[in-house]
Structure 1
Amino acid sequence: MTGNVHPLPRKAAPSLQPLMALVADGMNSVNAVILDRMQSRIPLIPALAGHLIAGGGKRMRPMLTLASASLLGYGGSRHYKLAATVEFIHTATLLHDDVVDGSDMRRGKKTANIVYGNPATVLVGDFLFSRSFELMVEDGSLKVLRILSNASAVIAEGEVDQLVAQRQIETSEERYLAIINAKTAALFAAACRIAAVVAERSDEDEMALDAYGRNLGIAFQLADDAIDYDSDASEMGKDQGDDFREGKMTLPVILAYARGTEDERAFWRAAIAGDRNSDQDLAHAVALIRRHDAVNATRERARHYAARAIDAIARFPDGAAKAAMTEAAEFAVARRF
């Protein structure tokens, strides 16, 4: 058979653009709430909070609140303040995390704790948590208050659990998944679930959105873990190997350690204990992770959770919101930053 052969068009890489376009107008309202509620008579508070809030983050969690509301056909305005609440909770945890981790870079710029110091950063994180609870109370729904306050407590538990597991080489994959379910996925789940509450939908719809957010959050964090051993700092906006130097037992390390020889395990024990953290040691760690295909295995697990997220919203009608949320799950795994 002869004639011209036309290759099939390649599917474009997954993007957040459909999600961002879907919620663009609503995010203007959310950002107005954020700007208003981060103000204080103490100038240091909005200056420090704005350093991170205006720092170029994806705003993934509040966007998911708005997208979930769109998926349900909600036509009110309560979700704007609640999406701002979700972003304040997230920002507060980031401020506290950077102090705990001693981080000096986030989103390509110096962290607030480096610019303003640890005490001010912790206290402004507390301020943003307090603002988030003010917004929850203003909404007036005890159910919304219960969901978001529970998520805040679970996040704190997850962070403490991660701290306890730090430099513990025998941390299992199961325990690690439990940690990220708490410290990352809980807020994704709550951000989506509250949309069903304000839209007065069924418990089944509520829990479907909870499942979407939870699985998306796990996929998102697993992709982060892979990126830390698979990208350079210019892509990530932070120093490559932060997790390695902090002795964090993320999934690529857990898998490489489990699959390694005894000599390799001895290296990992020393590295995670903090005795092998030079640039050469990081390069060796990356080589071991590649040797055992641990980054690809981590991304494969992330794809599994992204697929579960997509399955969770199958019950809802097709349309722009569902398509955007589906692509957001695909993006969470495919991204390089």
Structure 2
Amino acid sequence: MISRIAYKASGAVRPALSAIGRTEDLRFSPDNRLLAIAGYARRRCLILRIDVETGVDGPAVTLHDFMELTSDSMGEIHGLDFVDDRTLAIANRDGLVALFALPREEPAGQSREIAAIRRVKGRRSSKLNSPGSIAVRLESHGRVTLLVCNNYTHLVTRHVVNRWLGYRATSNQPLLKRGLDIPDGIALSHDGQWIAVSSHGTKDVKIYRMSASLGPDSEPAGVLRNAGYPHGVRFTADDRHILVADAGSRMVHVYAGSGDWTGNRAPTRSIAVLDEETFLRGRASPEEGGPKGLDIDRSNNVVAVTCEEQTLAFFALASLINPQVPAFGHDLTRP
């Protein structure tokens, strides 16, 4: 098992983490000062004030305080992503997608009920149904694209909202469908060329090339094989690696590429991020027990993962993707 970063936390943060219950996705803010965690079971979002620093002994993480947010527009929160440092898009598995302005004050151990700026429903063939993970892409002229995994209709939809119009939706369309069976996680490459979608039912991650012609009938350009029950997925900052959280095992799978993600790939490394006892506590079915949410911080040094039995853990990115960096334990590399 890979060694975790022993993060520092204030006395109030650890009880807040313990109380959040079942988690799904998590996401660092663009300025790297906040970490948002989806509290699926308790219908709330936990916002942590975080610092990530680098030193001679590797990255260090400090959790200074927290804010717990609830809303009539928060249900079974599955996915979330930041539009900017103070605006958060949330996908509710049992409802819709909602956009929120975070409270102006710094997280200081308080609970707040907030109202949504806007709720997004979609229309006709792109109407939201069981929205799960979500990815935000900033466009020109105030437009923001929301890519939403509709888990049980096996469809990724694209919704364009305009912040200059109070985030009103100006376009809704089905985007990806071919090859997907319960899309459970989504990520955009940093160069804007690729979309990675975890496909739970097919036990792989489909990679689609971004283009003007992309649509529901488009074939995946590449496939990441042997991903177990993939959930959280992220590109590294240089787009040369993809990390995939496997909810059905103790593993995070690492895939290597040159930045061109066409073709089929197997993991180059598969590394345990949960100990056996913790994993078995959450093993209600073959599809559960392992890591779910996964994100890489904006400095590209730290990987954060979450699941119900291990609400939050941090790992040095270098120790996952680089075989020359010690993993401080058993490197469970697949042949």
Same fold (TM > 0.5): no
Q: Which has the higher strand share?
A: 2
Q: Which has the higher helix share?
A: 1
Name the structure, 1 or 2, with higher relative contact order (CA <8 Å, separation 6+): 1
Normalised to the residue count of structure 2, the TM-score between the two structures is: 0.28
